[in-house]
Structure formats: C-alpha cells, structure tokens
Amino acid sequence: MACNTLQYYHEDEAPRRLSETTYALAAQYLTTSHGRDRIIDAPFRFEPNPALSAHRNYAENIRLVAEQAPLCLSPDERLFGSAPYLEAPQHNTPGHYFMGTSHTTPGFERVINLGIKGLEQDIRRSMQAPHEAEEQDFLQAGLECLNAMRCWIDRYRVQIRQQLNHASNPFYEKMLEALKTIPEQAPETFFQAVQSLACFYVFLRLCGVWPGLGRLDKMLWPFLERDLADGIITLDEAREILAHFWIKGTEWKGLFIGSGDAQHYQNVILGGIDEDGAEVTNPVTHLILDVVEELHISDFPIGFRCNGNTSPDMLRRIARIQRQGGGIVSIYNEPLVIKGLCKFGLAERTARSFTNDGCWEVIIPGRTAFSYVPFDALAILQDALGMQPGQSAVTFSDFEELYHAFLAQLRRTVEQQHQRMSQAYLEDNQTTRHPATLLSLFYEDCIAKGRSYTHRGTAYSVIAIHAGGLPDVANALMAYKKLVFDDKLFSFNELQNFLKENWQGHEAERQFVRNTLPFYGNGHDEADGLLKRLVEDYADIAGEQHEINGVLRPVGISTFGRELEFAPRRLATAAGTHAHDILAANLSPAPGTDRQGPLAVLKGYCAVDFTKIPNGCPLDLRLDPRSLKGDNGLEAIVGILKAFLELGGFYLQLDCVSPETLQDAQRHPENYPNLSVRISGWSARFVTLDKNWQDMVIQRSYQNR
C-alpha cells in the first residue's frame, strides 16, 4: 500500500493486522493532499474588546473558532475531530491575536475522566472559594471556553446526524451514540475514551495549543480491560480505533518546509511504572506499537520508559520498529530519570508520573508550565580563549588554568542566563497576548488557584537552562591539553594563530589533529573523562540556582537542531574544525569524530552522572541499516538498548537510515513522501526539511558506519 513505506528503511515487511479501509485512509493522509486540502486560514480576524480582560477576550476568540471552524468528516474515519486552521501550527490562536502554547503535556487522563461537566463543576467549586477579582475573571473565562467546546461538539453532532439521514454508516452511528455522553461526561467504553481524548486533544490543537499526549497506555487500559472482560470489543477492533487516532495526527503533514512538518510536540509516553510503582505496560502498549510498526506514522514520537522489568521481548519489539528507521521510538532509562527528579526535590510518587513536554525534556504532566533557555557552550570557550574580535590576547601556563578560565566564563554566562530566564518569564507571562485560558483548564492547580498556565497557576513553573556544544568544548579542550601542554607540539599562540587563520595553510596540522587525537565517544578514558568532568562541572554550576522567584531551574543539555543556528557565530576550533562547521548534536559525538562504533559512544555518554541533569540529555545514534539485517542485526540493536540501560544512559534516540537513501530522497523527494528521520524531540519527514537541515541529517547519518 502507498502508506506503508517500510521499503525505504529496511527489507523487513511489517505484519498486516489492520483493515484495508484503514490502510486506504492512512494512504490518503500520508501520500496525497487530503490533509492539506482541509487546512485554511481562519476567515475572521479577532479584535480584542478593550472593555474586557485578556481572559475574557481569549474566551471570545475561542468561541469564534468553535462556531466557525470547518467540520471535516470522512465516511471511512472511526473518529471525528479536525484542526484545519492554518494559524494553529504557526503557534497562534486562529484569529491571530493570541499566542499559542507548546512544550507542555496537559492532564489528559484527569480531563477525560471528568468530562466537560466535571471540569465545569471544578471551576464552579473554585469560584466559591475566596479569589481576587482577576482570578474570578479567569474562572469565568474558563467556563466560557468550555461552552465554546460544547458548541464545537454540538456542531459535529448535527453534522453526523445529517450524514446519517443521507446514508447509513456504522462509524457515524457509533460516534452519534457516543456523543450522547462524551465528552460531556466520563467515558464508559474504550471507544468512548479514545473519542473523548480525540475531542479534547483536537480542540486544543484547533485553538493553537500543541500538546504532548502523555501516557496513553496507562490512560486507556482501564477502559479496554473492562470492555474485553465484558466481551464488547476485541483486540483487533481496539487496534483499528487506535490506528485512526494515529492517522489523525498527520493532519498537518507537509505544511511547512524548514525544520520539518512534525515539530508539533505531540509525543506519547509508553511503559514504565505508575505512581504506586506498578508496571504500566499492558495490551494498549502493544496495540500502539502494532500501529506504529505497521503504518510507520511518525507524527506521534514515542518515548518508552524502560526499567529492569522491561522484558527481552519488549526490547525486541522496540528494536524492530527502530530498525525500520525514522526514530519513531526512543527510550528513557526510567529508574535514572526518577532518581534525578527526586534528587532535584520532587517526591518519588510525583517523579514516577513523569512524561515529557511534548519534545523529550522531562516534566510532570498536568502540573508543569515549561519553557527553557539554550546557550552555546562552545562560544563561551571561544570567549575564554580571547578569540572573539576585539578581545585581548590571553595565555595560560597549564591546562588547569585554561580549564578554570572556561569555568569562570561559564559561571558568568549561567548567571546571566538565570537572570534572563527570570526576566523572560515575567515579560512573557505579563503580556495580554498569552493568557492560555483554555489550556489552563487541563491543569488542576490552575483551576484551584484561579490562575492561568502562564500566570503561575500550575504546581511547577519551570524554565530549564540548556547547554549545547559540550562535546565540541570537550574535544577542543582535549586538543589544547595534548597539543600544547602535554606533548608540547605547538605553543599556545601558535595553535591560536592556526585557528585565527581558519586552518588555511595548515591542512597537514589539521589532519594530524583530526586523525590522531583522542576525542569523546571512542572509548578513550581520558577523552571521555574530560567530557564527564565538563558536563558535571556545568551541572554543578547551573544547578546552584534551584529556583528563582518560585520558578524552578532544572539543568538540561540540548541543541534541538541549533547546530545550524550556532554555526554562523562559531570560529575554528583546536579540534580541527573550521569556522561555521555544523558540530555536535545534544551530547552526541561531533560528526566525524566517533570511529569505534556505537558501544564506544555509549560508554562515553553513560559515564556522566545524569542525576545532576534532571531536565534531561539525549544521545543520538545513527546506525547503518546494512549492519542490521536478519536476526543478528536485530539482536545488535537489542544489545545497544541493554547496554544503554545498564551503563546508566538517560535518553536514547536511535535512527537507522543510510546516507545513500537520504541523498536519493534529496534528489527525488517525490519518491519518499513518508521517509521519516529523527531530528531531536520530533521525527520529521525528510522531504519537508530544507536543504540545510537535510544536509545536517545526511552528515550525521555517516556516524557509526
């Protein structure tokens, strides 16, 4: 079928469990303009009423969206709901006055079990408590947002009934029956639970919110378990329903060229333990993996929480999907993540509930308002070395003096970032353009406090500090240590002159550096030890400020593709790189420096104490599909997963796609409409990346070959 693009990734054929109707629907969404034909600009422009508060104006905006949004129904779809306004994936509320919100995972489990009516009752109870006038105003606006959602649901109810008046359709009949109770009330069946989730999730998307979905298997299993016991559904039927939910997630496919068409932060978390320590993995877990394996839809990237009880069979399941390419399934080392959150100050029961923010940064779902501020650590090293234009020349008597000069500059930068984060939070959350009233209803604390997501309503307000470029700093420091201070092959000034000249006229020396020095990620104890020292010193410095003004400051490490953004300001390095080179992603080895295979990379990465980095730090591994064929290839991936967990890694993003395939897709995009690659916290269809992003992915794909 057109939607099954596994031939682009690996020779294996995925099992065919789904119906032909579902395959055809997936093909419509994935390989035609079916989704894009739905997407339009909102036909109205919202103008705020100066006599109303931001929250009440926002509620008016949401009412217009609910009343006017096109209703998209297909006779082959088992679920209804569509987010067809173009402003939403552009991070705006349709009507284009209010800002959208992303990097968050709401409390979907609580919301679907309450229904609209239960949320309304929570709001009315809160209104009876003593609140300031602006808090009462927020709560009243919340009621108006709920009524807007009711309007949207009622319009679908009428539309479905009209369709049934023209022709019978078992899917529409089931939808109409479900709408007698959901999403107004709590669902009773598995189908109702998935449809209710779709209603809340799609309405948020429609209104400009890009949410993560959280722990779907934990959320949906009680309904499926009851239905299976009562004999009102089969596993095959449940799989079809989940497949249609997955297909709906592709609605914005192909809209944007740049960093990809799937950067909408709608991650799913599977597996692991619940708040009480009981295993979550259940038949819904397997059904979701079935759907992903079969349809290879990348729009809901999956983070699987692995622990000591994760079975060998589950690791093989994950490995089979990873071998297909696309980076759709990544893994968290659950015990280590929980330990880091507890060390940061969370109660263990709370820490056990972790998901991510819709990308991969670790948060508590339904309780966290999250953002982060990144910076380039390599630029800090270049400042410490006096390499920026206009800086005075510096010298160092030994490596430790150089290293501590870098740490001093790092400390100054971190302190500036902390102040910047505090100011950015205040400025962002004081604006009348970002009330986030609808989203706030998905956070129990916001309703209880009468304060929105962007005004300290959530239990945790978080702005994480994220360093990028640390592997590049470690490699450059190693070069200074070996070339200048240990082996004395060059003087410090001589090496600095090489860099100021961008290595021009010194290619022999550059090749010597590139080919003989030990760099991070090759199993070399000294090089890996320097990276470990560097990362943990950064974590200690950044972690000194646990919170400022009530805003938590967890430490993270990431680039999120900012290798492209950082490159124009980067200079040549002692590690043999030229000015403006695209260098390391996240905490992965710099391109072209890891020559000893993935296990050597794992050893270096996993040496770090990640409990000091509670917001997270990914490792990106690209594997050559030619080495992964047959049972031996599958077991090789399983071995990597086991080693990652046993050695103490935090989060692993693994992709299996050859550079030759990527280069062919760059030349002939029409042949690869659904070829997905892992970027950072999202998987993008390769053909929706612009050339700079494509070249970066191709460059990375040569790693570990």
- The pLDDT of residue 3 is 36
Measured in whole angstroms, the distance separating CA 632 from the mean position of its chain's CA atoms is 31
- The pLDDT of residue 164 is 96
Tell me how far apart the terminal alpha carbons of the chain are, to the nearest angstrom.
Answer: 31
DSSP assignment of 355-411: EESSSS-EE-TTTEEEEEEEEEHHHHHHHHTT-STTPPP---SSHHHHHHHHHHHHH
Does 494 fall in a domain? Answer: yes
- The pLDDT of residue 675 is 85
Are both 55 and 128 inside the same structural domain? yes
Token digits of residue 683:
């998987």
Does 25 fall in a domain? Answer: no
Write out the H or E segment, with its range, that includes residue 678.
strand 676-678
Are both 299 and 409 inside the same structural domain? no
DSSP assignment of 509-543: HHHHHHHHS--TTSS-HHHHHHHHHHHHHHHHHHT
**Could you tell me the sign of the dihedral formed by the alpha carbons of 83, 356, 368, 310, in that order?**
positive
Does 17 fall in a domain? Answer: no
CA–CA gap between residue 439 and residue 448 (Å, rounded):
14
Q: What DSSP character marks residue 489?
A: S
Measured in whole angstroms, the distance separating CA 344 from the mean position of its chain's CA atoms is 21
558, 588, 615: which is the final residue of a domain? 615
Q: Higher-confidence residue: 534 or 421?
A: 534
185, 210, 235: which is the final residue of a domain? 210
Does 23 fall in a domain? Answer: no
Q: Higher-confidence residue: 624 or 172?
A: 172
Are both 61 and 202 inside the same structural domain? yes
Is pLDDT of 58 > 50? yes
CB proximity list for 415: less than 8 A, separation 6 or greater: none
Q: Where are the alpha helices (DSSP H) in 78-189?
A: 108-128, 133-166, 170-178
Are both 456 and 469 inside the same structural domain? yes
Are both 206 and 258 inside the same structural domain? no
Residue range(s) defining the domain that contains residue 644: 212-360+616-705
CB 327 within 8 A of CB 528: no
Are both 396 and 533 inside the same structural domain? yes
φ and ψ at 333, to 5 degrees? -85, 90
Tally the domains of the chain: 3
Are both 551 and 628 inside the same structural domain? no
Does 11 fall in a domain? Answer: no
- Please choose, from the candidates 261, 249, 157, 144, the residue with its C-alpha nearest in 3D space to the C-alpha of residue 201: 249
Are both 252 and 337 inside the same structural domain? yes
- Give the pLDDT mean for 364-389: 94
Is pLDDT of 5 > 60? no
Using the structure block, give the residue that is written with the tokens 């109702």: 192
Does 16 fall in a domain? Answer: no
- Preceding peptide of 50 cis, ω within 30°: no
Are both 44 and 187 inside the same structural domain? yes
Does 7 fall in a domain? Answer: no
Are both 69 and 53 inside the same structural domain? yes
Q: Higher-confidence residue: 392 or 215?
A: 215
- The pLDDT of residue 261 is 66
Does 694 fall in a domain? Answer: yes
pLDDT tens-place string over residues 229-256: 999 999 999 999 999 999 999 888 877 7
588, 615, 642: which is the final residue of a domain? 615
Are both 277 and 307 inside the same structural domain? yes
CB proximity list for 351: less than 8 A, separation 6 or greater: 337, 338, 341, 342, 364
- Please choose, from the candidates 336, 334, 216, the residue with its C-alpha nearest in 3D space to the C-alpha of residue 266: 216
- Give the pLDDT mean for 690-694: 87
Are both 224 and 182 inside the same structural domain? no
pLDDT tens-place string over residues 79-128: 999 999 999 888 899 998 999 999 999 999 999 999 999 999 999 999 99
Return the axis-axis angle of helices 54-68 and 133-166, rounded to nearest 10°: 0
Does the pTM exceed 0.75? yes
